[in-house]
């Protein structure tokens, strides 16, 4: 699967390279985000799918003792209002 990914990226990159010949290096990072977002979408989708399958089969890993918070920040103001 990874080989397919690498091939796909190189292909998209070469295609985009033709149309976007000149741009500021900073712009490069801005443009590439569309591709990265698509990849991220696939990664998140497959991760969620795997998680659901594991939960279904009852082989999900137990939650480890973690010192890092969840990505979501509690919106305490809204809750209080």
Partner 1 sequence: MNAKNAHASSFRDPSGYIFVEDGKINRVINPIYFEQYKALRDSGFYQNLIKNDLLIAHKEISSSEDNVVIQAEKIPFITYPYEWSFNMYKEAALLILRLQKYSLEHGFSLKDATAFNIAFHKSKAIFIDTLSFDFYEEDSPWRAYKQFIMHFFGPLVLAHYHGAQQLKLLSNFIDGIPVKMISSMLPLKTKLSPLLYSNIHLLAKLEDKHNEDYKGEAKAGKLTKKGQLNIIESLYGYIKKLELKEASEWGNYYDKINYSDEAFVEKSRIINDWVNTLQPKSLIDIGGNDGTFVRKLEQSVETALVCDIDNNAIDFNHKTMKLAKEDYMLPFVLDVLNPSAAIGLNNTERDSFLDRVKAFAPDITLALAVIHHMSLSGNVPFDRSAEFFATFSEHLIIEFPKREDSWVKRLLKNKMDFKDHFGFYNLVEFKNSYQKYFNILEEEVVADSERILFLMEVKQ
> Between 25 and 58, whose beta carbon lies closer to partner 1?
25
Q: Write the DSSP string, 16-66.
A: HHHH--S--HHHHHHHHHHHHHHHHHHHHHHHHHHHHHHHHHT-PPPPP--
Question: How many amino acids of this chain bind partner 1 (CB under 8 A)?
Answer: 44
Q: Which of 11, 15, 18, 30 binds partner 1 (CB under 8 A)?
A: 30
Q: Which of 11, 15, 27, 53 binds partner 1 (CB under 8 A)?
A: 27
**Interface with partner 1 includes 22 (CB under 8 A)?**
yes
**Interface with partner 1 includes 62 (CB under 8 A)?**
no
- Residue that the structure tokens 């998140």 belong to: 44
């Amino acid at each position: 699967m990874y080989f397919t990914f690498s091939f796909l990226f190189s292909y998209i990159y070469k295609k985009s390279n033709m149309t976007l010949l000149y741009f500021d290096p900073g712009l490069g990072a801005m443009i590439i985000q569309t591709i990265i977002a698509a990849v991220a979408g696939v990664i998140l989708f497959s991760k969620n799918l795997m998680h659901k399958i594991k939960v279904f089969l009852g082989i999900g890993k137990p939650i480890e003792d973690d010192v890092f918070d969840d990505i979501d920040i509690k919106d305490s103001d809204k809750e209080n209002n």
